Amino acid sequence: MKAAVFHGPGGSWPQKPISIEDVPVPVPADGEVLVKVAACGLCRTDLEYLKVEGATPKPPPIILGHEPVGTVAETGREVNRLTAGQRVLIATAIPCLACDLCRAGQENLCPDMVLVGANRDGAFAEYVTAPAAGVIPLPDSLPLEESAIITDAVATSYHAVYNRARVKRGDTVAIYGASGGLGLICVQMTAAIGARVIAIGRKQWKLEKALEYGASEIISTGEVDSVDRAVKRITRGGADISIDVSGSARMIESACRATRAGGRIIVVGFSFEKIQLSVNRLMWRELNVLGSKNYRLSDMPAIIGLVENGVVQPHKIVSHRFKLAEINEAYQMLDRGEMLRGIVIP
């Protein structure tokens, strides 16, 4: 089969770190499923893998791609509830479902997580295997290819908005990095709950999308002296909740200044940067700075429900489609912020 194989950054970004190669079709082990990939989403997390030496949990060579959708091609032994031809999503992070954290309902923090496209080969290929526990039937009512973004962008946003931020009607919510796919999905979900949404981002055309998807106000980071002062002005003193999907230390620090006393700051974006936060501010203003990682598999019915109900519309978020051979160019476009969310069709 054709696969996009990453051989390590080696200082080569933004050259061509990924090559298209012929590799054997993987064989599903006991309890695993072989899926014929229909599409796989491009994610900013991969940019960290592409740029930072040693960032992938499985050392290169590795096939990236952790946002797949497709059809079941073959099932390994001990897989009963899935059949060949069935349309399925594959979870980004597949928990063991046996450890203490999994049994406590925090399976997104499982230490034995299987990460398709990070600690084993992923879905920028014609076929991919995954443990059956993370293979989720996709309702016929949803489009096949665009639904790729459900298991990362949509589900990760769900965990941040519903479980960590616990947004409720009437809250004022500032969303940093609202000019990417994840940020725009957070805008859609938060607005649907009945919160007042302030979308903060770099690119004006994407912020216009945020307005279309339910934001009340937008702040373009290039057009204000201070983002936190702009948020405070709009909210008369500070947002109830700030959600950062950018992973930028500068933005998270800004969010900590722009959130009201007793408010919550949710960190969803991923990077290796360090943030500075004064002990005084944290203690005196009782700030709640919370991380938000992946999502719980047990939330998947509710997540798919939000897409079925039209609260989140993947076809509006997927702005670009690429062939496997175009993957290097696709990542460069993602790095330059030129897409909402892109998918690769192998």
Q: Which residues bind Zn ion (CB under 5 A)?
A: 43, 45, 95-96, 99, 102, 110, 152
User: Is 73 or 133 the residue whose CB approaches Zn ion more closely?
Assistant: 133
Of 155, 145, 171, nearest to 69 (Cα)?
Answer: 145
Smallest distance, Å, CB 330 to Zn ion? 14
Smallest distance, Å, CB 246 to Zn ion? 14
Q: Please give the structure tokens belonging to residue 345.
A: 């069709």
80: CB partners within 8 A, 6+ apart: none
Smallest distance, Å, CB 5 to Zn ion? 19
Q: Please give the structure tokens belonging to residue 336.
A: 């330059």
User: Is 94 or 219 the residue whose CB approaches Zn ion more closely?
Assistant: 94
User: Is 179 or 235 the residue whose CB approaches Zn ion more closely?
Assistant: 179
User: Is 159 or 232 the residue whose CB approaches Zn ion more closely?
Assistant: 159
Of 311, 303, 309, nearest to 163 (Cα)?
Answer: 303
What is the phi/psi pair of residue 96, to 5°? -75, -25
Smallest distance, Å, CB 122 to Zn ion? 10
Count the residues in the chain. Answer: 346
Q: Are the C-beta atoms of 195 and 167 separated by less than 8 Å? A: yes
User: Is 88 or 153 the residue whose CB approaches Zn ion more closely?
Assistant: 153
Q: Are the C-beta atoms of 127 and 73 separated by less than 8 Å? A: yes
DSSP letters along 229-295, please? HHHHHHHTS-EEEEEE-S--HHHHHHHHHHEEEEEEEEE----S------HHHHHHTT-EEEE--S-
Smallest distance, Å, CB 110 to Zn ion? 3
Smallest distance, Å, CB 117 to Zn ion? 8
User: Is 94 or 167 the residue whose CB approaches Zn ion more closely?
Assistant: 94
